[in-house]
Amino acid sequence: MSTTTNRLWRLAVRPDGMIKQSDFNLVSEPVPALQEGQLRIRNVYLSLDPAMRGWLIDRPSYVPPVQIGEIMRGLAVGVVEESMHPKFAKGDTVQGMFGWQERVVSNGEGVTKLPASPLPLTANLGLFGLAGMTSYFGLLDVGQPKEGETLLVSGAAGSVGSLVGQIGKIKGLRVVGIAGSDDKCEWLVNELGFDAAVNYKKGDLRTQLKEACPKGVDVYFENVGGEILDTVLSVMNPFGRVVVCGLISQYNATEKVPGPYNFAMVISKRLRIQGFIATDFGSRVKEMINDYAQWYMAGKLKYRVDVVQGLEAAPTAINKLFDGSNTGKLIVQVSEV
Ligand SMILES: NC(=O)c1ccc[n+]([C@@H]2O[C@H](COP(=O)([O-])OP(=O)(O)OC[C@H]3O[C@@H](n4cnc5c(N)ncnc54)[C@H](OP(=O)(O)O)[C@@H]3O)[C@@H](O)[C@H]2O)c1
């Protein structure tokens, strides 16, 4: 990697359906010389997240869409290569929305210095990153789980879902996962301690859920949407809570997506459905880090990462989230730690 040039991905066209490499242009540009008050960061790991598909659609949302010609937005961790900024020194590890590129020159705004940690740097994009915040606050604050209740999680073997289920176990719930392969289901039960897991690609989902959740479902953590949400509504208990975290089955839709057919059950079962955005809880990150660190050190929490090599892989690797071939937090490694 040259220190004078930067390779980066700029959005070329808005994707139609799944993201294609040709939706982006990989370009080389000179790295601007540092000015007083600036720092230069070398990206080490980029986080690939399902929400990125939504950022490419030209519609109002919780963040503005990425514009044609802009660098693809994305969370990253990196190392400070050079600093003329009073708060950052060469060698600091930092996190921020540095985007799909090798290097970024910044004035320090939105750059967080990472504390020294015995965990690998990738943990800042998984356990202590967006996935960690999403699962912790989504389940505990939005889902309001109570000991002895049944928690059902879709996308359960993913980065967010696998943490949600483990927090559920720590809090004394019966935890059931929905995932897309037998291998993932086995991992959930045998490695992570879920009480049961069902493969939504095999057999009738409702029958499988009735068996796995004999007392019905009190909290449903929704990562997927579509037919799975519809089926789950039919097995919810009265006064259950549905935490709408994500609807990944719809992110690549090329036509209008129908609403849940079983929506009337929200009335008869007096359900509470609430969406949330993880960053709403940004001021409470310390709470999460304390709990995760304690649980992790006590061996109560496991997580895995799926690291794809090379900046050039980013636009194709992101589809692993949508075809289910990722095994854990999906990350692109851009340079050596
Ligand atoms: N609200 C927030 O602030 C927030 C923040 C972060 C993430 N999220 C949401 O959380 C969810 C999980 O994100 P993540 O980063 O942890 O990704 P992930 O779960 O690690 O990966 C995505 C998984 O979704 C499953 N999937 C993909 N397409 C599917 C479909 N059509 N039907 C059913 N399952 C499908 C696949 O697993 P299978 O093999 O099981 O199909 C895939 O491995 C996403 O919906 C994301 O948008 C929300």
Show me where the domains of the chain are located. 5-126+304-333, 130-280
Contacts from 1-5 at CB under 8 Å and sequence distance 24+?
Answer: 1/42, 1/102, 1/335, 3/31, 3/81, 4/30, 4/31, 5/29, 5/30, 5/31
CATH among 3.40.50.720, 3.90.180.10, 3.30.499.10, 3.40.50.1970 for 5-126+304-333: 3.90.180.10
What dihedral do alpha carbons 128, 129, 131, 134 form, nearest 10°? 90
The predicted structure's pLDDT at residue 3 = 66
Residue nearest to atom 31 of ligand 1 (CA): 249
Q: What is the pLDDT of residues 111-148, one digit of tens each?
A: 999 988 888 999 999 989 999 999 999 999 999 999 99
160 C-alpha vs ligand 1 centroid, how far in Å? Answer: 7
Q: What residue owns the CA closest to ligand 1's atom 18?
A: 158
Phi, psi of 242, rounded to the nearest 5 degrees? -110, 115
- List pLDDT tens digits, range 223-248: 999 999 999 999 999 999 999 999 99
What distance in angstroms lies between residue 83's CA and the mean position of ligand 1's atoms?
Answer: 37
Q: List, for residues 54-112, the tens digit of each pLDDT value.
A: 999 999 998 999 999 999 999 999 999 999 999 999 999 999 999 999 999 999 999 99
* Residue 252: exposure state from Cβ atoms within 10 A (0-12, 13-18, ≥19): middle
**What pLDDT shows up at residue 214?**
98
Helix, strand, coil percentages in the chain from 3-state DSSP, rounded to 5: 30, 25, 45
User: What residues flank ligand 1, with Cβ below 6 Å?
Assistant: 49-51, 130-131, 134, 155, 157-161, 179-181, 184, 223-224, 245-246, 248-249, 276-278, 321-322, 324, 326
DSSP string, 110-129: T-EEPPP-SS-GGGGTTTTS
pLDDT at 1: 64
Q: What is the pLDDT of residue 119?
A: 87
Please give the number of the atom of ligand 1 that sits closest to the Cα of 275. 1
Q: Is the pTM of this model over 0.85?
A: yes
Q: pLDDT tens digits, residue range 297-309?
A: 899 999 999 999 9
Class (C level, CATH) for 130-280: alpha beta
Q: In this structure, are residues 50 and 252 in contact, taking their beta carbons and an 8 Å threshold? A: no
- Interval between CA 49 and ligand 1 midpoint (Å): 8
The C-alpha atoms of residue 191 and residue 170 are separated, in whole angstroms, by: 14
The residue contributing the CA closest to ligand 1 atom 9 is 246
Whether residue 324 contacts residue 154, with contact meaning beta carbons closer than 8 Å, is answered with: no
Tokens of 275: 């969406």
247: tokens are 């609807």
Q: Which atom of ligand 1 is nearest to the CA of 277?
A: 3
256-287 pLDDT, tens digit each: 998 899 999 999 999 999 999 999 999 999 99
Supply the residue whose CA is at minimum distance from atom 2 of ligand 1.
277
| Closest atom, ligand 1, to C-alpha of 247 | 45
- Residue to mutate, 321, 325, 331, 332, ligand 1, most ligand atoms under 8 Å from C-beta: 321
Q: What is the residue with the minimal CA distance to atom 47 of ligand 1?
A: 246
Question: Nearest CA to 169 among 208, 219, 119, 133?
Answer: 219
- Residue 73 · residue 55 · CB < 8 Å: yes
Q: To which residue do tokens 């839709």 refer?
A: 253
Q: Choose the residue to mutate in 248, 321, 327 for probing ligand 1, maximizing ligand atoms within 8 Å of C-beta.
A: 248
Tell me the C-alpha to C-alpha distance, in Å, between residue 209 and each of 106, 124, 140, 251: 50, 34, 23, 25
Residue 67 CB neighbours (<10 A): 10
Report yes or no: 18 and 41 within 8 Å, Cβ to Cβ.
no
Mutate to test the pocket of ligand 1, among 224, 228, 243, 252 (most ligand atoms within 8 A of CB): 224
186-220 pLDDT tens trace: 999 999 999 999 999 998 999 999 999 999 999 99
CA of 107 to the centre of ligand 1 (A): 33
Cα diameter, the chain = 64
pLDDT at 2: 63
